[in-house]
Amino acid sequence: MVAVGILFLLCGVGYGKYIYDGGSSVWLGWEMASESEAGSQASDTNGLTVGALHDVQEGNVEESTQTGGSIGADGDSAENQSGSEEESTSGSGDESDASESGSGDESDASESGSGDESDVSESGSGDESGAIKSGSGSSDLSEDTEITLVMIGDMLMHTSVVNSGEQGDGSYNYDHLFANVADRIASADIAIVNQETIMGGDDRGFSGYPTFNSPTALADAEAAVGFDVILHGTNHALDKGASGVLNCINYWETNYPDIAYLGINKSQEAQDTYIYVYEQDGISIAILNYTYGTNGISTPADQPYLVNYLEEDKVVSDIERAHELADFVIVCPHWGTEYNLGTDSSQAKWTQIFLEAGVDLVIGTHPHVIEPVEWVTDDEGNEMLVYYSLGNFVNGTSSSGSGVTSRMVGGMAEVTIGVENGEVVILEYDAIPLVCHIASGSDFTVYYLSDYTEELAQENRIVSQDAEFSLAKCWEVVEEVWGE
């Protein structure tokens, strides 16, 4: 029988470190690492091998199901591509993030700026933060209880997006990225963001494609607007090596211990035992995050725990443990084929695995365009809602030509979870269209598409890269994928 530790704050919801070790669940308080542990994890690995990046020609897209190690597709290495993938307003296809298939435009490998990220340490606790559950399958759940969840897609921090946050004094601020959609984020009970790029240390300088390093000021903006869960299980998690992951973890733990980061880990124990569970009014919700791979950059042999990969045995085991701890299970996979408005066979495979494991909700990322939303059902009538991809939230693509518009259209998943007939279920759901707006220069923000105007559309810098970009074209993309 799993024992559960509960810490109640004045508001009536418990928050703290909840560690599940497969046999017992105990309250551990704030976890502090030993100096030896911190020292061993702070060391970066030199000479990380960057595997082949995709250089897939249009009409010859190949799908990869790689879950770590090299990408199994032909193409140049990240180093070779960086010199020709500089961000511009007139370049050609360059958002290739060395992912599964798809033509590329995750470019802009230039370094710009530096900061003051501190050395890695393991104090803090964001790695194991989350609300404490009070038990799953509770018989006294109230049908008046509703929990609202929102999630946005890829924070794809090209150099132009990074530069948009630079202030006169040399500091950075990214509140402007969320200003026009902050209402739903702030009001949701659970707000989730896919942090596509690692925040690996400001002192290392900032970079875009192919090996991203984003300012920690982005974390500050995400915290300020109200995000509760940050997904770091992406193909760019290892862009700055092991030290980049540990620096990122350290920033979250030190500055925002109440915000949960998922998909990356500071220790083997954390990867093996930690399940994030949110609890509200007796309902408990577990959230898991994995990536298909890391662009051919392997985890160091002595630190295999750094990133959560889509490895079937591990994923199924985690889902089983999540069911023991929570009433409702969400998986956020980084999967699929870039720039594909449909779905691929790898997503179909994993959807079936999730369904058979009893997952309730899947919200995917990585393709950089929106993909379908659908219910899937097994032979016994069990249902699972799947958002295959929410597309980009923000990006500064330098690609040009037809199809670029679809990279500017993103989505916000909005789900209401509650109780029906004693079971925790999805009561309502929506996919809210968004559009990334780039004003003259590098002034980025995001609008609800319903608030966007043709005047704004014609002022969007992307018009110079895709002559088809317009308000009507954005709605065409939405209707093609999600219907009217």
List the chain domain ranges.
18-40+113-482
Strand partners, 428: 416
Instruction: Give yes or no for a contact between 207 and 243, defined as CB atoms under 8 angstroms apart.
Output: no
CB within 8 Å of 317: residues ≥ 6 apart: none
Instruction: Write down the pLDDT at residue 141.
Output: 83
271: left (phi over 0), alpha (psi -120 to 50) or beta: alpha
Instruction: Write down the pLDDT at residue 68.
Output: 37
Average of pLDDT values for 87-113? 39
Instruction: Write down the pLDDT at residue 252.
Output: 98
Domain with residues 18-40+113-482, CATH architecture: 4-Layer Sandwich (3.60)
Average of pLDDT values for 239-258? 98
| pLDDT above 90 as % of the chain | 69
Instruction: Write down the pLDDT at residue 103.
Output: 38
| CA–CA distance, 300 with 313 (Å, rounded to integer) | 21
Q: 88-102, 198-212, 253-267, 291-305: which range is least confident on average?
A: 88-102
323: left (phi over 0), alpha (psi -120 to 50) or beta: alpha
Average of pLDDT values for 43-64? 29
Average of pLDDT values for 344-350? 98
The residue among 290, 325, 253 whose CA lies nearest residue 19 is 325
Average of pLDDT values for 87-95? 38
Q: In the sheet that 276-280 helps form, which strands lie side by side, from edge to edge?
A: 276-280, 283-291, 328-334, 361-363, 383-387, 373-377
CB within 8 Å of 55: residues ≥ 6 apart: 74, 75, 76, 81, 96, 104
Average pLDDT, the chain: 79
Instruction: Write down the pLDDT at residue 441.
Output: 66
Average of pLDDT values for 278-286? 97
- pTM value is 0.77
**327 has a pLDDT exceeding 90:** yes
**322 has a pLDDT exceeding 60:** yes
Determine the 3-state secondary structure of 360 from DSSP. Answer: coil
Average of pLDDT values for 100-129? 38
pLDDT-based confidence at 410, cuts 50/70/90? very high
